[in-house]
Amino acid sequence: MVRAVKGTKDILPEEMPRWQLIESTARNIFATFGFEEIRTPLFEETELFHRGIGEATDVVSKEMYTFPDRSGNSLTLRPEMTASVVRATIEHRLELYRNPLRLFYIGPMFRYERPQKGRYRQFHQIGAEVIGSDHPAIEAEAIEMLLLLLERLQVRGSELVINSIGCPSCRPDFLNLLRNAVSEKLERFCADCRDRSSRNVLRVLDCKQETCQEPIESLPAISDHLCEGCRSHFLQFRSWLEKRRVPYQVRSRLVRGLDYYEKTTFEISNGLLGAQNALAGGGRYDGLSALLGGKPSKGFGFAMGMERLVLALPEEAVKESSSTPELCLVPLGEKALEVAAGVASKIRQAGKGCYLEYEARSLKAALRSADRIRARWALILGDNELQTGQWVLKDLTAQTQRLITETELLEACASGAGKTQILF
């Protein structure tokens, strides 16, 4: 038997209500903040990620799915979307359309990582980018939008942590200081950190290995070495969060794994997810457009992993949003099936949902089928019901039933409810 590739996951029909709820809620909320959706290709020229993300990052050096096409061009399945969105902005001159540009995306990404709970080699992200402004208020607004999404999804217990990682003016001196401090304690760090100390020393601060936590705590903090511009920007950003009544914590060790980030960085975590508890993260990337060959342009954005968000979604949120048809038509016999099929068409034309049971089976089996699809009502049509014109409407939740005519049923569908108390 051929199975799904390691690190990938089939999203089965019973899981889809969670995914659909997240996507529809995100689209609705992002639209209220003036964001528009963008979709970019699943693969890009490899150079885009080498230039944009940074060759010394783990994503580029270890995790990308890169392959030559038949013309010998090097292509890569996108490991993230910010570089792709900025590339599209430059290529199509979207900054002329609106400034600042507010864009969001929903889609799959690809990284060759060790599969674990909530993390796959093909994974899905929801993200948003604001391109064309460096105002700290925009950063606070984007985070407010993200937290509102979590609130609407009833995902509670999330925590926002923030930091500033400096800019090209102040960060180089700090990196030299950090590199020297790490080299003095190199034997106390894990193998990955020893490798990062020469390639990308800032990532040492982000190590999750328990053995590295004590030496990391003794390292210098970048917050103590910011230039005046970065310090002022960070203070304004915090002020805007406070004006919007957004609670946060400052964590001086918080960094991001992609080289294009500068100044503000943030992460939202949720303790209900266990060890792998990061739900979303992002920050500012003012130099990315120029790196990719465009005009210098400011940028800020975030991404959140949908797989982890699905895990954090409470069951009551899914039940409240369920779009499963509430009515199941149960015909007993071929003649009843013909009538039921016509009734089903009329119900659907009225904009309501219903499920028609086609297979000939016993009433008991048909009602079990209605239960499996989580229908609230079962409409039973047999020879006797067809003869009298009085059909049996069974409430599967209350386990009660009543008689109803076709006219009464269709009137209830047209109004959404009625004296029959059918709630579609």
> Which pLDDT score is estimated for 79?
97
pLDDT at residue 369 in the model: 77
Instruction: Take residue 41 and report the two structure tokens written for it.
Output: 């290709």
> Which is more confidently placed, 149 or 222?
149
Who has greater pLDDT, 271 or 69?
69
- pLDDT for residue 322: 61
User: Which of helix, strand or coil describes residue 377?
Assistant: strand
Q: pLDDT tens across 303-351, in order?
A: 999 999 999 998 888 776 666 678 889 898 889 999 999 999 999 888 8
Q: What are the pLDDT digits (tens) for 154-179? A: 998 899 999 999 999 998 999 899 88
Place 420 in a pLDDT band, splitting at 50, 70 and 90.
very low
Instruction: Dump pLDDT digits (tens) for 239-255.
Output: 999 999 999 999 988 88
Asked whether 153 and 310 are in contact (CB, 8 A), the reply is no
What is the structure's pLDDT at 115?
86
State percent of the chain over pLDDT 90: 56
Asked if the model's pLDDT at residue 60 lies above 60, the reply is: yes
What local confidence, expressed as pLDDT, does residue 351 receive?
82
Residue 417 has pLDDT above 60, yes or no: no
User: 278 pairs with which residues across the strands?
Assistant: 269
More confident residue, 44 or 57: 44
* Average pLDDT rounded to a whole number, residues 5-18: 92
Q: Is the pLDDT of residue 67 over 70?
A: yes
Measured in residues, the chain has a length of: 424
What pLDDT does residue 285 have?
96
Q: What single letter denotes the amino acid at residue 342?
A: G
What pLDDT was estimated at residue 182?
Answer: 86
Domains contained in the chain, CATH given? 16-170+226-318 (3.30.930.10), 324-415 (3.40.50.800)
CA 245 to centroid of chain Cα atoms? 24
Alpha helix segments (H runs only) across 153-269: 171-184, 191-199, 213-217, 228-243
Q: What is the pLDDT of residue 396?
A: 87
Most confident among 57-71, 177-191, 351-365 (mean pLDDT) = 57-71
Asked if the model's pLDDT at residue 152 lies above 80, the reply is: yes
The predicted model gives 367-376 an average pLDDT of 80
Across the range 381-406, mean pLDDT stands at: 90
pLDDT-based confidence at residue 31 (cuts at 50, 70, 90)? very high
Quote the tokens at residue 407: 């006219």
Residues forming a β-bridge with 74: 68
Crossing angle (nearest 10°) for helices 136-152 and 16-32? 140
Q: What does the alpha-carbon distance between residue 330 and residue 340 come to, in Å, rounded to a whole number?
A: 8
Asked whether the predicted pLDDT for residue 421 surpasses 50, the reply is: no
Cβ atoms of residues 298 and 263 within 8 Å: no
Beta strands in 111-260 (DSSP E): 122-131, 158-164, 249-250
**Looking at this protein, which amino acid is placed at residue 62?**
K
* Amino acid at the residue 308: R
Euclidean distance between CA atoms 234 and 90, whole angstroms: 28
Stretch among 85-94, 109-118, 211-220, 321-330 having the lowest mean pLDDT: 321-330
Mention every residue, 6+ apart, whose C-beta is less than 8 A from residue 308: 118, 119, 273, 276, 278, 279
Q: What mean pLDDT do residues 147-154 have?
A: 95
**Helix orientation angle between 191-199 and 171-184, rounded to the nearest 10 degrees:** 140
Q: How high is the mean pLDDT of the chain?
A: 89
Residue 418: the pLDDT is 42
Number of C-beta neighbours around residue 17 at 10 A: 18
Q: 131 — phi, psi (to 5°)?
A: -120, 125
d(CA 350, CA 108): 35
